[in-house]
Structure 1
Amino acid sequence: MNLTGVFVPLITPFDAEGDVALDALEALAERVLRDGASGLVALGTTGEPGSLTAAEQQAVVETVARVCQAREVTLVVGGNGGDARLSLVPPFVRPGEAGVLEYFRQLESPVPLVVYHVPYRTGQSLSAETLRKIAELPNVAGIKYAAGGIDDETMLFLSGELPDDFAVLGGDDPFIAPMLALGAHGGILASAHLETAKFVAMTDAWRTGDLTTGRRLGRELVGLSKALFAEPNPTVIKAVLHARGEIPTPGVRLPLLAAKMVEQMPVS
């Protein structure tokens, strides 16, 4: 299983009747992989899983899995299925760092876990020491690290010793370049629905030591990422993909509302 490079957490497109547009989902998955993405994420936050029925979730996973299997790339799923399971740090209850560690120690899964650390959504911060302990768990293959920026704990975590088979994937799109500069293995990047090839080239540049290219593309792509997250994700991304003709509608489901800033976004 490869957990390096750019992973695109796919949106779930809807048709004019509000149903999941599986044909458009499959075409989008094919396109981002053609553009160089290392793998895909289904039913991540960007895919609006909380607004999908169980049958719709299954259909989404089956569709994306078919594409990944044909291309022999890694599929991470925010639930059951796939090569790895994206598993959120327990939200809302704030169990403390020891509780989070024990939760992942005992979490049963038929596939390896990619722990999703996003304290501004979960309300639970984790120290570098706890993150390293999570990395050492035998059922954990990687982490989607989205701490909202680069702070002291980020520096301590990435500068410390981690298992050779453990992957750090940046999850805050505007900060992916500095994360890669600090040693991250790649990213799970919603912004990479657009300019996929450039995100791939930037990631490859940092990982191969091409600092000039990495810095240039990092400066170029940070503005795109900030614009795409100017309204709740994935509303702006869907609006742009619709404007480009890649999905049938820009529709989202409640509690999300359609983006209002579409006219300011690049469509070509």
Structure 2
Amino acid sequence: MTFSGVYVPLITPFDADGSVALDALEVLAREVLAGGAAGLVALGTTGEPASLSADEQRAVLDVVTRVCRDGNAALVVGANSVEALRALRERPGVDAALSLVPPFLRPGEDGVVAYFEALAAASPVPVLVYHVPYRTGQPLSAAALRRLDAIPGVAGVKLAAGGIDAATVELLADPPAGFAVLGGDDAFVSPLLALGAHGGILASAHVATDRFAELVRAWAAGDAVRARAVGHALAGLALALFAEPNPTVIKGVLHAQGRIPTAAVRLPLVPAATHSVEAALKHL
């Protein structure tokens, strides 16, 4: 399948007793699909998967799989090991896996390519590379991204370089056919779309989902005047939503809107300050 449009990496809402609020998760997932999202990401970093037990992860994936099936929407699952990818064989309905460039080790471009060759060989579904060098410590050149594209089973990249870097410009100046480039830096997604990206995996699209979908459509249609206006507004919203560690402000906004039962996060995250949530709400 072709990966384009807006994908929402779902938060994991928690009840007052600290348990996963599965009912709220289902309602939220259905709301963002109704708002125009092309698909959902389950157990991505926005969903705090490292803080969830194996049973909680399974329950979250059950809910999101059902919602995507009912809505005929794409389902992407965060999976960062051969074992996690192989486990997807037992999960019909998953369209792709989102796998992080190995963090901390900085294995070099050859190591990254070899790593994704192993992941793609083990995966029953296409793999999307999550490239976020300011978190992983591993930069990738445009040439390395093209090498990743050449791996059978690698379908695209979530590109979160912290802005529009030289590798991004070079890649999109001559994009590989069939290789999806999805923005992952919410505040920079509009200029990335202007360069030719296919969409975005955007935590900010929990709110104003319809506006993010409109932004993608406007750039795809070549309506630069409309796209710039929408993009400028959404960049301000995204910066406000990321004023504190993700997804703390987003959860604060969703709770203030009555869409999730609490704004709780799990350690090492702590809830966003009230002023950060209020500042984000002003953009809505």
TM interval, short-chain normalised: over 0.9
Q: SS of 2:155's equivalent?
A: strand
| Cα pair 1:241 1:247 within 8 Å, conserved | yes
- Tell me whether 1:207 sits opposite 2:225 in the alignment: no
Select 1:250's aligned residue among 241, 263, 270. Answer: 263
Match of 1:33 in 2: 33
CA distance in 1, matches of 2:71, 2:2: 13
Cα deviation for residue 265 of structure 1 reads 2.6
Match of 2:190 in 1: 177
TM-score by length of 1: 0.97
Match of 2:126 in 1: 112
| Cα pair 1:2 1:73 within 8 Å, conserved | no
| Cα pair 1:2 1:74 within 8 Å, conserved | no
Deviations 1:23-46 (A, max 9, x none): 000000000000100000011111
Q: Which runs of 5+ in 1 are unaligned?
A: none
What value does the CA root-mean-square deviation take over the aligned residues?
A: 1.0
- Count of matched residue positions in the alignment of Structure 1 and Structure 2: 267
Q: SS of 1:76's equivalent?
A: strand
Q: Which runs of 5+ in 2 are unaligned?
A: 80-87
Match of 1:191 in 2: 204
Q: SS of 1:7's equivalent?
A: strand
Select 1:156's aligned residue among 170, 185, 205. Answer: 170
- The amino acid that maps onto 2:144 is T
CA distance in 2, matches of 1:262, 1:215: 25
CA distance in 1, matches of 2:248, 2:7: 19
Match of 2:159 in 1: 145
Identity in percent? 62
Deviations 1:60-106 (A, max 9, x none): 11100100011111100002442100000011111100110111112
- The amino acid that maps onto 1:24 is A
Deviations 1:165-203 (A, max 9, x none): 221000000000000000000000000001000000011
- The amino acid that maps onto 1:42 is A
| Cα pair 1:177 1:214 within 8 Å, conserved | yes
| Cα pair 2:2 2:180 within 8 Å, conserved | no
| Cα pair 1:202 1:214 within 8 Å, conserved | yes
| Cα pair 2:149 2:176 within 8 Å, conserved | yes
Match of 1:265 in 2: 280
Cα deviation for residue 161 of structure 1 reads 3.7
- Flag the structure with higher helix content: 2
- The amino acid that maps onto 1:256 is L
Match of 1:233 in 2: 246
Cα deviation for residue 160 of structure 1 reads 2.1
Deviations 1:1-33 (A, max 9, x none): 341000000000000000000000000000000
Cα deviation for residue 137 of structure 1 reads 1.2
Map 1:2-81; keep pairs closer than 5 Å: 2-79=2-79, 80=88, 81=91
CA distance in 1, matches of 2:151, 2:191: 26
Match of 1:167 in 2: 180
CA distance in 2, matches of 1:224, 1:172: 12
Cα deviation for residue 54 of structure 1 reads 0.6
CA distance in 2, matches of 1:264, 1:229: 11
TM-score by length of 2: 0.92
CA distance in 2, matches of 1:161, 1:147: 17
Select 2:104's aligned residue among 92, 100, 117. Answer: 92
Cα deviation for residue 263 of structure 1 reads 2.6
- The amino acid that maps onto 1:175 is F
Deviations 1:95-129 (A, max 9, x none): 10011011111221111100000001111000000
CA distance in 2, matches of 1:16, 1:98: 46
- The amino acid that maps onto 2:11 is I
Match of 1:134 in 2: 148
